[in-house]
Amino acid sequence: MITMSKSKNHTNHNQNKKAHRNGIKKPKTHRHPSLKGVDPKFLRNQRFAKRGTFLVMTKKKAAAKAEAKAKTA
């Protein structure tokens, strides 16, 4: 028994139209991406760096507030 070989192995017909019916959307970006799987040494250093930056900024704000108060008084 001899069968005919198939002629069509693949088609992309209508796939583009189907994809665009609801629009091709970009993946949503999150404000704070997860740090899961990040190097622990880096995370530890980042934690200390954030703390140091926070302390410096609070001192600057306090100094600016005191300067503004001295200016008005």
pTM of the model: 0.50
Give the pLDDT confidence of 46-61 residue by residue, as tens digits: 999 999 999 999 999 9
Predicted pLDDT of residue 12: 94
Q: How far is CA 51 from CA 4, 27, 35, 60, in A?
A: 74, 32, 17, 14
Residue 19 pLDDT:
96
Q: The tokens 């980042």 sit on which residue?
A: 46
**Pair of tokens at residue 60:** 């600057």
Q: Rounded to an integer, what distance in angstroms lies between the CA atom of residue 73 and that of residue 65?
A: 12
Q: What tokens were used for 66? A: 């005191």
